[in-house]
Amino acid sequence: MNGTLLGQTRGSDKIIFLYDEKGNKYGFDYNGTKYYYIFNVQGDVIGILNQSGAQIVSYQYDPWGKVLS
């Protein structure tokens, strides 16, 4: 292993991170349901899509990368 976190289990909850062929994380599987990250040009996660393609959360950052919302 190269130190990449593949997943975690806490109680009955299980999360498995999804990586592309270059090793970039692009989403996760939470208890059998897949979610996908939306990135901006800086590589920050600005949203998460569910399996249906609906955006379920969004994030905003200040110019220094601090999360605003």
The answer to whether position 24 is within a domain reads yes
Asked if pLDDT for residue 2 goes beyond 80, the answer is no
The answer to whether position 64 is within a domain reads no
The answer to whether position 67 is within a domain reads no
Number of domains within the chain:
1
d(CA 24, CA 19): 5
Asked if pLDDT for residue 3 goes beyond 70, the answer is no
The answer to whether position 63 is within a domain reads no
d(CA 31, CA 6): 14
Instruction: Provide the pLDDT for residue 67.
Output: 87
What is the span of the domain harbouring residue 17?
7-58
Q: Assign 3-state DSSP to the chain and report helix, strand, coil percentages, each to 5.
A: 0, 50, 50
What is the pTM (predicted TM-score) of this model? 0.84
pLDDT digits (tens, 9 = 90+) for 9-57: 999 999 999 999 999 999 999 999 999 999 999 899 999 999 999 999 9
Instruction: Provide the pLDDT for residue 5.
Output: 78
